[in-house]
Chains A and B, each alone.
Chain A
Amino acid sequence: MAHGQNLAIFRGRLKFKSNVQKIWGVLVLLTIVTVVEVFLGISRPAIFEEHHFLGMKLLNWIFITLTLVKGYYITWDFMHMRDEKSSLRRAAIWTPVFLASYLIFILLFEADYVHNVLFQGGYVKWNF
């Protein structure tokens, strides 16, 4: 934070007058996103339940996207990543993002494979 504060969000489209104002603005944004998530979680609209993308319900993709949006604003504005040097930003953010994506990719593929072998192949018996 030593280098002054960046008071704009949405790539400069929304500028705040002070840091305190920006904090409340981000709170409003996070609250809206949470309310949308809870609303979708309770109503579960059929249109998002029926359609699938890459093997997952559209609704789940929406939830994951909204979560990443929330994560971005918590890290960038509450943890002041926006004001840090890009070298620190890359070291602290891209490392776990890369490693976690890799982990998600291999483990979920493996789980899907295990599911197919066990249950489609009929190798599991639940009554004995």
Chain B
Amino acid sequence: MDTTIATGTEENVWGGGNRPLGASYGKLMMWFFLLSDALTFSGFLVSYGFARFKFIDSWPIADEVFTHIPFFHGEYPMYYVAFMTFILIMSSVTMVLAVDAGHKMKQNKVIWYMFFTIVGGLIFLGSQAWEWSTFIKGESGGAIETKGGRILHFVDSNTGERIALGDFAKHSPSERIRLQRNEGTWFQSEGYLPSVSVKEVVDGFNATPNVVVRTETTDETGKGKVVLSRDESIKTMKGAKYVVEGANLVHNEYGHRMFADFFFFITGFHGFHVFTGVLINMIIFFNVVLGTYERRGHYEMVEKVGLYWHFVDLVWVFVFTFFYLV
């Protein structure tokens, strides 16, 4: 058996200079960052799954929650989110085209494709802001929360259609106004005052015999919620405690409050990624315009931010499925 001594000129394990993964340092680090980020998002999505499986009988139906399109009235489930998904995929495509143009050292093409990518990202961010504001304001007509924390919706027992609180609540004159900070004894203030009070809703409910309660419990078909009879509704309404309009981290008019919590955290965390992605894309865009990578001789930086941008798209594909479809 021969023993050989490395001379250092040929490639070997200890001599350095070899690249076992065939990628540059920066690209590898981007991949490993994305790997850790993927685990963070898995943590978020799986905990959402945990909450959902735990409350599987009373989870809100996403089709009923996200039904609006900007500038249009009426119910159009899913279309707007599908549009957002398509915008993000499209901006991913312009990003790959930018990377491809970078490999061919075509500066002008890279500039235009990066520009379209940034525009796509901004459209997505705007759409998400609109989605959030619709969700926070609430568009489904309000709900009653009971002492036990259950959410009650109201339907017309003749037609089976949802009724908004304002449609049957008995408007009684009240001097109750939102407490401002400068009027409170201890400088207290109120976040918001619902458009109707609990008393008005209960009075209106008792006076209108065709209004019945729709509970959070999913019915046997799995497509709808259990609607109570008038007698049971009256019994349930005795526990009425709050009027809930819209959603925040504590109350949620659409159903289980954890749905709103996860919605804010997951889409918020993803939106934050999109936001930073747009910022990084802008930095790289200006570098391309200034000719930094032309002088450097390669456009690898475009490829690296491209990886981040595609990852944001990848995560959205999963968020879309688990929040809006499943």
Contact = CB atoms under 8 A, between A and B. Distances in A.
Given A67-B318, A85-B21, A42 B77 contact: yes
B63 A111 contact: no
Given A80-B99, A115-B53, 5 more contacts: A41-B78, A88-B23, A96-B39, A114-B54, A127-B146
Interface stretch (B133-141, B176-184, B276-284, B307-315): B307-315
B147 A128 contact: yes
B224 to A, nearest CB: 12
SS class of chain B's interface: helix, strand, loop or mixed?
A: helix
Contacts of B54: 111, 114-115, 118
Nearest to B311: A79
Given A92-B31, A127-B239, A63 B325 contact: yes
Contacts of A110: 50
B272 to A, nearest CB: 20
Given A41-B325, A104-B46, A107-B47, A92 B78 contact: no
Contacts of B321: 37, 63-64, 66-67
B242 interface: no
A73 to B, nearest CB: 10
A111 B22 contact: no
B53 A44 contact: no
A14 interface: no
Interface residues of B, number: 65
Contact of A115 (B35, B55, B146): B55
18 contacts: A27-B93, A31-B89, A37-B321, A38-B78, A41-B78, A78-B92, A87-B20, A92-B32, A92-B35, A99-B39, A99-B42, A103-B43, A107-B47, A108-B50, A111-B51, A115-B53, A125-B148, A127-B147
Given A20-B97, A92-B35, A103 B86 contact: no
B22 A2 contact: yes
B259 to A, nearest CB: 15
Contacts, number: 153
Contacts of B32: 92
A10 interface: no
Contacts of B52: 111
A62 B103 CA distance: 37
Interface residues of A, number: 57
Nearest to A42: B78
A88 B314 CA distance: 19
Leading 10 A-B pairs by shortest Cβ distance? A111-B53, A126-B148, A100-B42, A85-B22, A67-B321, A88-B21, A111-B50, A38-B82, A96-B38, A78-B310
Contacts of B148: 125-128
A38 B79 contact: yes
Interface in B142-160: 146-150
Contacts of A103: 42-43, 46
A99 B193 CA distance: 46
A57 B222 contact: yes
Interface of A: 1-3, 19-20, 23-24, 27, 30-31, 34, 37-38, 40-42, 44, 49, 57, 60, 63-64, 66-67, 70-71, 74-75, 77-80, 84-85, 87-88, 91-92, 95-96, 99-100, 103-104, 107-108, 110-112, 114-115, 118-119, 125-128
A107 B96 contact: no
Nearest to B31: A92
B325 A71 contact: no
Contacts of A96: 35, 38-39, 42
Contact of A30 (B23, B28, B56, B89): B89
Nearest to B149: A126
B275 interface: no
A34 B49 contact: no
B150 A91 contact: no
B169 interface: no
